[in-house]
Structure formats: C-alpha cells, structure tokens
Structure 1
C-alpha cells in the first residue's frame, strides 16, 4: 500500500516519466512484495528554477536531472529490505533512462495501518 510522489524535471518526456514510475513500482513489488494493482503514484513535474540542490552531497555529484522519489508505506520493513529497495529503484531508473543513479534521491516515510483509506472513507487496513 505505498503511495509514491515523484518529483522530476518538467522537461522529461512522457516515456521517461513512465519508465521512472514503472521502475519504482516494480522495485516495490520485488522487494516489499507489494501487489501489482497497489499502484498509486503522483508525478510532479518541476520547473528548473524550483529544483534546488547542491552540486554534490555525501560525495555524490548531482545534476539538473535530479529525481526525488518520496514513498509513504506501512511500517515493518527491515533495514536490509529498505537498502535493497533503494538500490533496485536507482538501478532500474538508470538502466531505463538517461538519469544517472547518482541523481535518484529516495525518501521513505512509514505509517501505521490506521493511517490509510482507499476510498469510501473506510480504513480498509484495520478491522
């Protein structure tokens, strides 16, 4: 039940946006065992003047192709699973697009089951 926000340069084509979206979703399926239909994402195209970042951070260089992936999901994954997810997302994006893995920033926010409603004002995940 992840909800994913992807912030990326507005100049990216529809195909690049789709490849980034698919890369994130496939990684969530593979690593977090998310069901295939649990595919809720919002892509936020950002104008260059609104992407603010340093040239490098933690000795990792960044370019104007910076992509921010913000994942909200239920709590309970191990540190190893989280590391594997980050690596899978960055690898898939860099293999499918011109975005370098250095330019893929990933942020994970964990929540409790009662923090979710998938419609009708019902908290489907709790009984």
Structure 2
C-alpha cells in the first residue's frame, strides 16, 4: 500500500511524468510485491525559485533534472527489498523517460499498518 509523492522542476511534458508513474509502479511491483492496481501517486511541479537541490552532495553529481521521490509504505519491507527498489527505480527511470541515475533521489518512509485508512473511515490493515 505505497503512497508516493514525486517532486520535480516544472516544464516536463505529460509523457515524461506518466513514464515516472509507470516506472515507479513497475519497480514496486517487482521489488516490494505491491498488489496489482495499487497505484496512489502524485506529482508536484515546482518553478526554479521553489526547487532547491545540492549539485554534488554525498558524492553524487545532480542537475536541475533531479526528481525527488518519497514513498510511504508499511514497515514490513526488508533492507534488501528497499535496496532492490532503489536500483530498479533508477534503472527503469533511466530507460524511460531518460532520467540520469544520479538524478533519482528516493526516500522511503515506513508506517505501521494501523496508521492507514484507505477509505470508508476504516483501519483496513489494523
């Protein structure tokens, strides 16, 4: 039950943004065993004045095309699954829409199952 927020610089075409959605969904299906049709994602676009990044922090050379991806998931994933997710996400987004691996910035937030309600005011996973 991932919930994904993606932030990037404004101005990319719709096909580029849709490719990010598709690549992330595929990476999660392959590495985190996310169920079919479990897609809850948003993209926020920011103008240059409202988007900041470090071009060389932690030994990674980024450009203004950096994409921030924050994924909130149940706290049931292993470290190996998360590492596989990071690799596969960078690989797939590199192929389509052509994002350099250095510009794929991913953060996974873990949450207990009882902290989720996916509709009807119910705690479906508690």
Query: Do they superpose with TM above 0.5?
Result: yes
Q: Secondary structure at the match of 1:58?
A: helix
| Distance across 2 between alignment mates of 1:74 and 1:115 | 9
Matching of residue 48 in structure 1 with residue 52 in structure 2 = no
Q: Which residue of 1 aligns with 2:102?
A: 102
Matching of residue 74 in structure 1 with residue 74 in structure 2 = yes
How do 1:107-122 residues align onto structure 2 when only pairs under 5 Å count?
107-122=107-122
Deviations 1:5-36 (A, max 9, x none): 01011111100000011111111110000012
**Could you tell me how far 1:77 is from its partner in structure 2?**
1.1
Give the total of aligned pairs: 126
Deviations 1:37-70 (A, max 9, x none): 1100011111122111111122110101010000
Q: Which blocks of at least 5 consecutive residues in structure 2 are unaligned?
A: none
Q: Secondary structure at the match of 1:92?
A: helix
**Could you tell me how far 1:98 is from its partner in structure 2?**
2.9
Q: Which residue of 2 aligns with 1:18?
A: 18
Q: Identify the range of structure 1 (109-118 vs 46-55) with the bigger mean alpha-carbon deviation.
A: 46-55
Q: Which blocks of at least 5 consecutive residues in structure 1 are unaligned?
A: none
